[in-house]
Structure 1
């Protein structure tokens, strides 16, 4: 529903909607006030009720669903990563699935995520959870390292061109839209 109310704002790249949460990203205070006014006018126009107790205005950075949103970028919440890093190596299928769930949620920040995690997913597909092989331990450590060093992703500038990068190999195919 929210996507139908704010299509222009979403396509301009400064509005993030996550279920019923709205995040307005801005570069300057004046720009933020202008965007916020635009969003609030639409909320009033379509008669959406909001709870002021749950609203947070004019934060330079906020945390939302394991992500950090500082200005016009998106990063992984380091506190969430720290929780994962403090846990010992997964010993059960359920523990590995939990780790892969967290890592997978942050996959857009991890280069070659599918390639790195492949052996760990295979481990979870098996009927029994076998011991970690050297390859799987290496993949697990590489994912943990990637999570701790994950880059912040910038919101796109819709006025600049994009490049489509594609990759295909015997194991799969993928694509990513980049902006330089």
Structure 2
């Protein structure tokens, strides 16, 4: 049984590599599931971008900062639909004029400002409350804060 497991693991690992994306990297997003691009499927680009990675959600999801006509799409995509951005090589393609790359700034160091409280809960056996808060900056995910942390963030 262990031999079968090891064989299956070997086959899986050969074709599935863990992506090494980092916050701030440039990536191209696959248009496989984009139905709102106004051209025939045959003429549609296979990938659009480049976009800046804003946040990593686990090992399988990436949040990018979308721009242009894709701004109203949800910014989180699975890693399987991502591809690292490679700028055109001048030596291989001397006549190719690269399009100017406009990368929007990543506001990673912005202070966390609370937009609203989503839920409230009491810890069992303790006389403490926690609040599930949503931040104004979409980079930060919702998180549970202890009552003392919540009060300090509101007062500042």
Bin for the TM-score computed over the shorter chain? under 0.3
Q: TM-score, normalised by structure 1?
A: 0.22
Q: Which has the larger radius of gyration?
A: 2
Q: TM-score, normalised by structure 2?
A: 0.24
Q: Give the helix-richer structure, 1 or 2.
A: 1
Q: With CA pairs under 8 Å and 6+ residues apart, which has the higher RCO, 1 or 2? A: 1
Q: Give the strand-richer structure, 1 or 2.
A: 2
